A = this chain, B = another copy of it.
Amino acid sequence: MPTVIAVDAMGSDKAPKPEIEGAILAAKQYHVHVLLVGREEQLRAEMAHHPSAQHLPIEIVNATEVIGMDEKVAQAVRSKRDSSMRVGLRLVREGKAAGFITAGNTGAAMATAKMVLGALPGVDRPALAAVFPSSKASATILVDVGANVDCKPHNLEQFAIMGDMYARSIFGISRPRVGLLSVGEEESKGNELTKEAYPRLKALPLNFVGNVEGRDLYNGNADVIVCDGFIGNVALKVSEGLVEAMRFLLKESLKSTISSQVGALLSKKAFSDFKKRLDYSEYGGAPLLGLKGVCIVGHGSSNANAIKNAIRVAAQFADTKINAKIEQELTHTQGVGVS
């Protein structure tokens, strides 16, 4: 039996094109069955451009509403009861799909997923994990980047357990190095939250490497880094802003160094290589960890390849039963009295 994955066909900036093409790629390459969720008529019309996809395991599920990128989250989630996100996540809750992916409004995806799927037993706050490239071959997972603000020490503890499981199940790292994001390496460095979280993380049955600093997001010194979602969100957006600024400055520099056309071309190539590594959609999107069900959030700018990768990762999440493992780990940890 192929793994059934529901795809928000209306999510990305250029929806539904990347979603449909990504679904076709995934259905060809992986053992998956895709449910494309969105405005049925529009999706049928778009699918008609891909006659070769006729025999692929792709179905359309109708959802009449769409949550826009700039909509106010609380209101949109409450009022749009037939949104593609809500319908797609309902398919997961009802067992009709093993996972859901969306490249739509991240805030709306988090809120809808929490509402429709709910959190795993033992999880107080589901968290969004993002992958940062490093100069080494590896990558670093940061949990939480989803603006779970004003976290308590036990939230960071749960983020660590969930991030560890993610690194093991999806990245195949056998004993992930887990770090706590702080402002200095010594145990005594940090704020109230990190100082309280430190001994709790140390007591977990994980490969805890202690405090790490901002620069460790990019140097491969840790596989998983946990932090309050406010900090994680700032770290992610500072990175995006810096890449944009560098793209601009580098182009200027290369243009002034050599012929302007060659310089522009070179910088374009160099940057697309780098962005490819930085953009988490290339890693298959950012998973929401700690939910009763699988939900992967991609970037709004996702192309067909990014959607395909997100579908692959959603299927991996489902197939490796990562949620059951997280639940077990949390129950065990809380059972031994750490939390």
For residue A132, give the distance in angstroms from its CB to the closest CB of chain B.
Answer: 9
User: With a CB–CB cut-off of 8 A, which chain B residues contact A270?
Assistant: 250, 253-254, 257, 267
CA distance A216 to B237 in the complex (A): 8
For residue A25, CB closer than 8 A to chain B, the reply is no
For residue A233, give the distance in angstroms from its CB to the closest CB of chain B.
Answer: 4
For residue A111, CB closer than 8 A to chain B, the reply is no
CA distance A229 to B230 in the complex (A): 13
User: With a CB–CB cut-off of 8 A, which chain B residues contact A269?
Assistant: 253, 257
| Given known contacts A219-B241, A236-B214, A257-B266, A183 and B230 CB-to-CB distance under 8 angstroms | yes
Contact for A219 among B192, B214, B244, CB less than 8 A: B244
CA distance A149 to B162 in the complex (A): 27
Flag if A274 contacts B246 (CB, 8 Å).
yes
For residue A101, CB closer than 8 A to chain B, the reply is no
For residue A240, CB closer than 8 A to chain B, the reply is yes
**Count of this chain's copies in the oligomeric assembly:** 2
Q: Give the number of residues in A that approach B within 8 Å (Cβ atoms).
A: 54
Flag if A213 contacts B191 (CB, 8 Å).
no
User: With a CB–CB cut-off of 8 A, which chain B residues contact A60?
Assistant: none
Contact for A214 among B215, B241, B245, B246, CB less than 8 A: B241
A-B residue pairs in contact (CB < 8 Å), sample of 23: A133-B249, A135-B249, A147-B183, A149-B183, A149-B190, A182-B230, A191-B228, A191-B230, A213-B233, A214-B235, A214-B238, A217-B238, A218-B245, A230-B231, A231-B234, A242-B242, A242-B243, A246-B246, A249-B273, A249-B274, A250-B250, A266-B266, A267-B270
Could you tell me which A residues sit within 8 Å of B by CB distance? 133-135, 147, 149-150, 181-184, 189-192, 213-219, 227-231, 233-246, 248-250, 253-254, 257-258, 266-267, 269-270, 273-274, 277
